[in-house]
Amino acid sequence: MNKDVQKLFRLIVQDIGVDMKDEFDLNFERQAFFSEAWQRRKSPIRNEDRAILTDSGQLRSSIGFRTTENSVTFFSNLPYAGIHNDGGEIVVTKRMKMFFRRKFYEAAKSALERKKQDTSSVKRSRRKGNLSDGGFYAWTRDMPLTPEAEFWRNMALMKEGTHNQDSPSPFLGILS
């Protein structure tokens, strides 16, 4: 191939990359992989009006691409991008449980303030220690909780090593 044809071919591949990146970005507006709608998950922590796969917008803005002489590769460097795009199994870790518990405390702030006013329950929680799941469960069992706080409480009570299956919501992929 002569140099002008190679240059033209590289420019065409670059244009394809730009156009497809725009189309993958539009998947977030369509809430679908082109015409395949994403499954809406039922969760008390997600606003029904908010778009699927959209929380901070980082996933959407992380889409990038690289070109070679005759190909385009799309990617995201976010660690959770693969599980959203391809689905898969998530294993609950100790660090995740600590995160869930922190989110519970944020969501249950008003219930916790009411609980602190009841000195007998505070003494009981200190005596039992609220670091184990059993103590955490007993300490939070009778609290009037919002659906969000209840969700994070249930997540915090999951056993380490528990496997959760996440269904795919592809935003990047091979077109067929």
Q: Computed over its alpha carbons, how large is the radius of gyration of the chain?
A: 23
Which pLDDT tens digit goes with each residue over 117-171? 554 544 444 444 444 566 777 777 777 788 888 888 888 888 888 887 777 878 8
User: Average pLDDT of 14-31?
Assistant: 90
Alpha carbons 88 and 82: distance in angstroms, whole number: 9
pLDDT at 18 > cutoff 90: yes
Q: Are 156 and 100 spatial neighbours (Cβ–Cβ below 8 Å)? A: yes
- CB-facing half-sphere around the CA of 145: CA atoms within 13 A: 22
pLDDT value for 91: 87
77 vs 176, higher pLDDT? 77
The percent of residues in the chain predicted with pLDDT above 90, rounded, is: 10
Q: Hey, is 165 helix, strand or coil?
A: strand
pLDDT value for 125: 46
